[in-house]
Each structure stands twice: as structure tokens, then as C-alpha cells.
Amino acid sequence: MVPADLRSEPSHAAPNAAGGRYPIIDAVRGGALLAMASYHSLWDVGYLRLTAENYALTPTGHRAAEAIAGTFLTLVGIGLVLMNGRGIRLRPTLMRLARIGGAALLVTIGTWFAFPDSYVFFGILHCIAVSSVLGLPFLFLPVPVTALAAAAIFAAPVLVHAPVLDAPVLYFLGLGAGTPRTNDYVPLFPWFGFVVTGILVGRLGLPWLARSRLGAWAPRSALGRVAAFAGRHSLVVYLVHQPVLLALFTGLVALTGPNPRAGVRAFRADYVTICTRTGGEPPLCRIAARCTSDALIQEDLFREDGRPFSPQERLRAQAVSQGCYGAIEAASRAPR
């Protein structure tokens, strides 16, 4: 998962919006960029096995990613109001769409080569590009209609079920029963709902912001200026930051080596699954999984990175596994 940008180019400069922009909105976007980069850093160190597991893929990590994506997409809706709230500005809108669409294509091509089994075919940038077109009518529809549309879009994945929606060509909708294998998946349903919500927030809240002290805020601290600057150029930041982070962490893992316990949790889960399927008792399987993983690490036989075993190593690993389970099973049956 990962979020990207909308550069707001308002169709009219609000009285307190410096240079036709609201620095506070840029700064909020900059803060979202920092959260996104932090999440990607967590994913990178897990992917490169610098940490014991990939914490970005845990339930907490997924919730954080969803919150970051939702923030960006809500800002997209607010930006659409700023740009086109008084009427569609065709040339700037098309230029912006070309920038984001081109960036989405670059992400697809880049991930196709880097991760061919899980390349990004409809990630955050793809969602922003399509949503920026689909969202235009909601700039002018009655507010209650827009609110009902947002609610319907959020509810659609729960309420809509049809086998035809599982077709790969329709994965971008997000209404199928399965989830495709991809490193960043932000389908229109329910995520377009955040854009429509942002349009609603912008239509109702921007008039108030224009009259408020918050709307007149200008960054004076270094942190505020950096956040606002990043928010103004968030598309560039989005495209550049992940290759830079991957390069830095790849260099780090080359110096330090992977975490010796990387993949242990996944190994134990797989061990328990196989053990119980072959007739083992779940409590004993869990204890044996811990015993086996610890013994394999001690014997330098743990192979989370996919390196193949030699015939001798395979025999040793099998003996370790059988020995652990046998010892634990015997202990459980011993009289007390």
C-alpha cells in the first residue's frame, strides 16, 4: 500500500490563501507523506529481513496503511474542490490528470520489473487518477446526494456480490470475493468513497477555512516550511522516496546481514498448519514449532531466504524436526 498526492491548484485564491493555496492543507499533506514514508520504511526493513518479521503486514500495519491512504484520498477530494469548485478548469485538470496517470504508469512498469509476481496494477496513484475524473460531478450535485453517494460507495463491497466481479479485468473495482496479489491495491470501492467524502468536506468546510485564522496560517518554523514544501510537491516525493529508502536499507542489510530470526513467526505458523493436518495435536505442534525453529537457527539450518538445502542439510533438518516433536510427545505422555 501506498498513498500519493494531489497538488491543489485552486480556481480562485481564497482571501487568506497565500499564492492561491492554503499552506495548512499542504502541511497536512506533508504530514501524511511522513506517515507514508514511515510505513514504507517498516515494509522495506521487513521485506529485506532486517527485522524478525514484516510488521507492516500485521493487522496493526494494515490499519495504519489504510488510515494513511484514506487521508490522502480525502485530501484529493478537497483539492478537487479547490481546483474546480467554481467550474471545471479543463486545461489544468487535464495536465494534472496526465501527471498522475503518467506517474501511475511508471509505478506499474517499475514494479513489474522489481516484483513481477506482485506488481502494482491499481494502486493509490491509479485510484487517484480515476477518482479525479469520477469525482467531478460531485462538485456540483446537491450536498445530500454527494453524502448518500459516499455512503453507498463505502457500503458496496459488503452489499454487492456477483461472480462476474471476480474477473481479473474487474479487479480495479474491488467488488470481487478475492484479493489479487499486488504490493499496492487501492480499488475504487470503497476507496473512491474517501474522495467523495473529501469533496463533501471541501464544499462545506473551505468557506469556513477561508475566513478562519487557520486558513491564514503561514509556516514560520523549519518543520512547518518543510511539511508545506513536501505537500506542494507530494507527487515527486511519492515517486522518489521508495527507491531511495530501498537503496539505503539494501546497503544496510549488505553491511549487517539479515536478522537471524527473520521469518521465524511465519515458519512456526506453517509448521503448526502442516503438523495438525498430518494428525498432530495442536498444542504439541505449537511447542514443537518453537523447538524446531530454535534448533534450526542454532544449527545454522534456518532457510527463510529460500536458499536450498543440500541433501545432508535436509536430512539434518528433518532429524531436528522429528526429534523435537518426538521428545515433546513423549514428555506429554509420561506419567506425572
Close Cβ partners of 232 (under 8 Å, ≥ 6 residues apart): 7, 21, 26
Distance (Å, whole) CA 31 – CA 236: 15
Q: Give the whole-angstrom CA distance, residue 269 versus residue 148.
A: 43
- Give every CB contact of residue 48 below 8 A, 6+ residues apart in sequence: 246, 249, 250, 253, 258
Cis peptide bond N-terminal to 190, omega within 30? yes
Contact 97, 169 (CB under 8 A): no
Predicted confidence at residue 8, as pLDDT, reads 40
**For position 322, what pLDDT does the model report?**
77
In three-state secondary structure terms, 9 is coil
Q: Give the per-residue pLDDT at 6.
A: 38
Per-residue pLDDT, 25: 96
Q: What per-residue confidence (pLDDT) applies to 161?
A: 85
Question: What are the Cα distances from residue 299, in Å, to 260, 267, 268, 287?
Answer: 12, 16, 17, 18
Q: How far is CA 18 from CA 218, 301, 329, in A?
A: 8, 61, 72
CA distance linking residue 247 with residue 314, whole number of Å: 34
Q: How far is 301 from 146, CA to CA, in rounded Å?
A: 59
DSSP bridge pairs for 185: 122
Q: How far apart are CA 103 and CA 107, in angstroms?
A: 6
* Cell numbers representing residue 83 in the block: 481546483
- Structure confidence at residue 304 (pLDDT): 63
CA distances from 26 to 35, 74, 76, 226 (A): 14, 13, 12, 10
Q: What is the DSSP string of 197-216?
A: HHHHHHHHHHHHHHHSTTTT
For 175, list phi and psi in degrees, rounded to 5.
-105, 5
Q: Going residue by residue through the chain (336 aa), what tens digit of pLDDT does each one get? A: 444 343 443 333 343 444 458 999 999 999 999 999 999 999 999 999 899 889 999 999 999 999 999 999 999 999 999 999 889 999 999 999 999 999 999 999 999 998 899 999 999 999 999 999 999 999 999 999 999 999 999 999 999 988 899 999 999 999 998 889 999 999 999 999 999 999 999 999 999 999 999 999 999 999 999 999 999 999 999 999 999 999 999 999 999 988 888 888 888 888 888 888 888 788 888 888 888 888 887 777 776 655 666 777 777 777 877 777 676 666 666 554
And the C-alpha cell for 173? 473495482
C-beta separation of 257 from 61 below 8 A: no
Tell me the C-alpha distance between 213 and 200, whole Å: 21
Transcribe 103-159 into DSSP letters.
HHHHHHHHHHHH-TTS--SB-HHHHHHHHHHHTGGGGTS-HHHHHHHHHHHHHHHHH
Quick check: helix, strand or coil at residue 122?
strand
Whole-number pLDDT of residue 21: 80
d(CA 216, CA 134): 31
Q: Please, are residues 153 and 193 in contact by the beta-carbon 8 Å criterion?
A: yes
Euclidean distance between the first and the last CA atom of the chain, given in angstroms as a whole number: 52
